[in-house]
Structure 1
Amino acid sequence: MSRFAASSQGVVTSPHYLATAAGKAVLEAGGNAIEAALAVGSALCVVYPHMNSLGGDSFWLLSDGAGNLTGLDGAGPAGLRYSREFYAGQGISAMPVRGPHAANTVAGLVAVWGAAHAASQQRWGGKFSWPELLDRARAYAEEGFACSASQGEFLAQKWSELGDFAGLAEHYAPGGHPPPSGSNFQQPHLAASLRLLQRDGADSFYRGELGRRIAHGLAQAGSLLGTDDLAGFHCKEVTPITVPYRNGLAANMPPPTQGVASLLILGILNRFDLSRYDHRSADYVHLVVEATKAAFRLRDRHVADPDRIPVPVAELLASAHLDRLASELDLSRATPWGPGVGPADTVWFGVMDARGRAVSAIQSLYHEYGSGIVAGDTGILWQNRGASFSLHPEHVNTLEPGKRPFHTLNPAMYLEHGRPRLVYGTMGGDGQPQTQAAVATRALDYALPLSEVLDSPRWLLGRTWGNASVSLKLESRFAPEVFDELARRGHEVERVEDYAQMMGHAGVIRATGNGHMEAAADPRSDGSAAGI
């Protein structure tokens, strides 16, 4: 398994080597970037079940390499029978994180896959059928695969929250305990659901036999999501949002994702000459962290479902506004900081094909193992994305029936003259915009080798999965004087282990010119990169 690859014919990177292999096989057979990404994404739902599932949400950025950029939005809305009044009637004052009433939003991932496959066929001359692209995933579920260390470890860590859910224990802890690393892990019920998807198409997840079985299984577990909620959902094709950065444009997804926060950070940093600072220095970390605080304050005030709440994206990313935000940064003192969004378990993956077409994709269950609810005999684990709603009526992300929740998920690209030069992303809740900033600046401003871009020590401001503190966490590979200087400037500094899981599982693809491209996978993950 290699974490770095280069090619002129196509590259792929993902956080699990088996998924990378699935995408590579499609590229080798002449498939395009969308087709390879569908093979990767479907495989990840099988081999990385603690991080993503058919029962989760997804967002994709698609670039045709000739100036056309499209976003696919798979943010599932709250069920029509879920309201603040319902939770109040149950004596619940805060959104539940686990259990049947955390399984309260539609899963949008499969709809994104369906829309992506249609785009491949209609616009990119796709050659692979829908069933063919899901075949490797179905085989992994049916025949089994070597369980990753993180799959069992995360279940063991969260067993007190998840062990009482009979469906989860049956499917993900056979024998009553989390599977050991390296053991052959089979998912026959999920394999059967994938066979139905292959036979009937993506639409069947929402309006077919599989959808009816999902709704029945969720109802048996106590969720109020119904067949009408599933049947009413369709993937949205949206226009990505952009902000100038250096010689090109940074691109991301619009609300309800936090893509605007990722772009705010880069827009602020574009007002500074980063070459003045070493990328492992206190000056560099302080600057990016302070830009992050400014971006997060605006994100938390404004970002919600734009179908319900107007989100002033254009005003937030306007040049004059970014100038003002940059001018207000104090380069010598840390501004106060409080709680952020918190945990998220997610997978990001990217593909670029021989024609320079690219996919930046992300899919998630929100917390590890999501709600803990498996939809009956389908083997499909359901997300708990609705936990990001608020039950306070005045909150921008207050729960309403049919409303989409705020989303941490945001896949990224950087383009010059309309062509993708950098395709990147990560998992990690509040950590996503921060790690994206580290990847983009180290790849573009410092022109580091991709392996060094991902290997270099990282930081995290605030909470993420596995840690509830709001401190500024730095991997211990930063020099001692960096810790001392950041503390002197007023940061609440916390030292964490090298290659800490909380820093996210990032990936990156860079087009270097003349048709050459390279890809890298994060050493903090089980991932790999491959070239054709």
Structure 2
Amino acid sequence: MQSNMAPSGMAVTPHHLASESALSVLRHGGDAIEAMVAAAATIAVAYPHMNGIGGDGFWLIVPPEGEPLAIDASGAAGQHATCEFYAGHANIPHRGTLAALTVPGTLSGWDEALKVSAALGGGQLPLSRLLADAIRYAADGIPVTQSQASATQSKYAELVDIPGFADTFLPQGNAPLAGSRFCQPKLARTLTQLATEGLESFYRGPLAQLIASEMQALGLPITAQDLANHRAQRRVPLKLSHSQGDIFNMTPPTQGLVSLAILGITDHLEMAQASEVQTIHRIVEATKKAFGLRDRYITDPRHVTLPVQSLLEQAPLEQLAASIDEQRAAPWGQGKGPGDTVWMGVIDKNGLAVSFIQSIYHEFGSGVVLPESGVLLQNRGAAFSLDPAHLLALMPGKQPFHTLNPAAARLKDGRTLVYGTMGGDGQPQTQAAIFTRHVMQGMPLQEAVCAPRWLLGRTWGQLSDSLKLEGRFSEETFQALRALGHEVEWLPGMSEATGHAGAIVRHTSGMLEGAYDPRSNGSAAGF
């Protein structure tokens, strides 16, 4: 496979309908931010098991000149979400009404990003135009992907009795077949109301009152006041000064630190000429070090105990690199587990670049669908701990930990790169694989995205925390990693467990190059 090239705009998403929505906005004079809002709306409809307007989102915006900007559009726990609320539970359930305890934040991120677009002199297309495709697809139906069909079938037993799930996702009481038409008329009405009244209406106004009343009727710990208090937050992104340029990622409560730390650690190792086994071993060992930082420090930014940027200074990264044993795998505990998400990238003709990620956490999130608005609610709050002494201890108004982290880089050779993936613990690992292969080792962009990948830990319902290799790796690579002490297992040859990745490069000529992941239903669409 070869990358797609185009001079005037490029969008990469894990669903081709979302790519086309973004491309249509670019063709009609919209900028990369407006195009991303259109893509985000469409994919919320077309990939409902992975994301939706009942979830959270994170933006990384890189203008042609000036400093990058991040937007944290993740919601906090509702005011009634206390440890007492979960009395009798050892952990917060991952499914059902008890799992839906945080404010859905992603729509606030769309709204805040459009304000950034206006400040940058964007095309300022009407919101109704940006949401038009999503409204049509929700009303008229989308073709069910194999990914949605498989997820519905595999999770049927644990979701079928959750309020609203069967009415929405089980037509005729069964999991839909791949290729069948799937309509979401209630969601279409809600999107239409948002297009008319504005994205803020989800949090304040008649629509917000409806949503709050639906939540209250289901016994959720989120109130109308929680919705009204929510705002997306602009952040200064984390930055890694790498030998190849500056790499950017999200601040807490996300694991953006992990993605940058892996690349910062391996930058002190020899990666350009590393063999396949050396590349995997070094990145996996760096991943273990970076996960250690994550699990010690990353939480709601108001509760972080040190400046996270300081962990990306060269001295601590070099020290971590020096502690890696080139001949033996370090012991490995347990990762954070699964996450179901979409990453998307857009770069426009002026060089405005956007790396964006949107999620409902597990497949179908909490499984709870609000009965009138048709909004599927995330279960991100299940990441909280009910131990009051834990770093991630639950408390009202606190943001949960997020695996989500969109990435971007300004390389020393003048190129701009946006890249990312879905996949829980796998996100920083796949980011490291793509960056290392393309930037450090010179692999063509599409090849770097398609090449066989690995996963240390779990995602998508994996039961073990082993090092998993896609089946396209050789038996020699498998056995060499095992000889180094890694507990290795095989995945299928092209496995969703390693994420739905993508990348866009803006070359110094202004030409745009996009690469999508054949593990997804995506495309790289340019003009």
TM-score category by the smaller chain? over 0.9
Aligned with residue 500 of structure 2, among 488, 505, 509? 505
- Once residues 497 and 311 of structure 1 are traced to their aligned partners in structure 2, the CA distance between those partners, rounded to angstroms, is 41
**Counterpart in the other structure of 2:343:** 348
**Counterpart in the other structure of 1:157:** 154
Q: Is the 8 A contact 1:342 1:464 kept in 2?
A: yes
Query: Deviation of residue 220 (structure 1)?
Result: 2.1
**Counterpart in the other structure of 1:306:** 301
Find out whether 1:459 has 2:458 as its counterpart.
Answer: no
**Counterpart in the other structure of 2:121:** 124
- Once residues 136 and 409 of structure 2 are traced to their aligned partners in structure 1, the CA distance between those partners, rounded to angstroms, is 35
Query: Deviation of residue 419 (structure 1)?
Result: 6.7
**Counterpart in the other structure of 1:177:** 174
Residues 418 and 274 (structure 1), Cα distance of their counterparts in 2 relative to 1, 3 Å cut: closer
Query: Deviation of residue 370 (structure 1)?
Result: 0.3
Counterpart of 2:209, as a letter, is R
**Counterpart in the other structure of 1:388:** 383
Query: Deviation of residue 227 (structure 1)?
Result: 0.5
**Counterpart in the other structure of 2:279:** 284
**Counterpart in the other structure of 1:108:** 105
Counterpart of 2:405, as a letter, is N
Query: Number of paired residues?
Result: 527
Write the deviation string for residues 223-251 of structure 1: whole angstroms up to 9, x where unpaired: 12110110110000000010112231110
Write the deviation string for residues 144-168 of structure 1: whole angstroms up to 9, x where unpaired: 1211111121011001110112411
Q: Is the 8 A contact 1:351 1:359 kept in 2?
A: yes
**Counterpart in the other structure of 1:477:** 472
Write the deviation string for residues 323-381 of structure 1: whole angstroms up to 9, x where unpaired: 10011111110000011100100000000001111000000000000001112211110
**Counterpart in the other structure of 1:518:** 513
Counterpart of 1:22, as a letter, is S
- Once residues 276 and 48 of structure 1 are traced to their aligned partners in structure 2, the CA distance between those partners, rounded to angstroms, is 39
Q: What does residue range 199-348 of structure 1 map to in structure 2 within 5 Å?
A: 199-278=196-275, 281-348=276-343
Counterpart of 1:118, as a letter, is K
Write the deviation string for residues 139-193 of structure 1: whole angstroms up to 9, x where unpaired: 1101112111111210110011101124111011111111111111111000000
Q: Is the 8 A contact 1:463 1:470 kept in 2?
A: yes
Query: Deviation of residue 3 (structure 1)?
Result: 8.0
Secondary structure of 2:434's partner? helix
Query: Deviation of residue 512 (structure 1)?
Result: 2.4
Secondary structure of 2:91's partner? coil
- Once residues 309 and 293 of structure 1 are traced to their aligned partners in structure 2, the CA distance between those partners, rounded to angstroms, is 20
**Counterpart in the other structure of 2:522:** 527
Secondary structure of 2:272's partner? helix
**Counterpart in the other structure of 2:62:** 63
- Once residues 116 and 236 of structure 2 are traced to their aligned partners in structure 1, the CA distance between those partners, rounded to angstroms, is 15
- Once residues 139 and 363 of structure 1 are traced to their aligned partners in structure 2, the CA distance between those partners, rounded to angstroms, is 21
**Counterpart in the other structure of 1:141:** 138
Counterpart of 2:383, as a letter, is S
Counterpart of 1:263, as a letter, is L
Find out whether 1:197 has 2:200 as its counterpart.
Answer: no
- Once residues 339 and 224 of structure 1 are traced to their aligned partners in structure 2, the CA distance between those partners, rounded to angstroms, is 30
Q: Is the 8 A contact 1:221 1:376 kept in 2?
A: no
Q: Which runs of 5+ in 2 are unaligned?
A: none
Query: Deviation of residue 202 (structure 1)?
Result: 1.0
- Once residues 18 and 450 of structure 2 are traced to their aligned partners in structure 1, the CA distance between those partners, rounded to angstroms, is 21
Identity %: 46
Query: Deviation of residue 8 (structure 1)?
Result: 1.3
Normalised by the length of structure 1, the TM-score is 0.97
Q: Is the 8 A contact 1:218 1:373 kept in 2?
A: no
Secondary structure of 1:72's partner? strand
Write the deviation string for residues 274-313 of structure 1: whole angstroms up to 9, x where unpaired: 12213xx211100000000000011011100111232431
Q: Which runs of 5+ in 1 are unaligned?
A: none
Q: Is the 8 A contact 1:20 1:527 kept in 2?
A: yes
Query: Deviation of residue 85 (structure 1)?
Result: 2.1
Counterpart of 2:403, as a letter, is T
- Once residues 310 and 59 of structure 1 are traced to their aligned partners in structure 2, the CA distance between those partners, rounded to angstroms, is 22
Q: Is the 8 A contact 1:4 1:528 kept in 2?
A: no
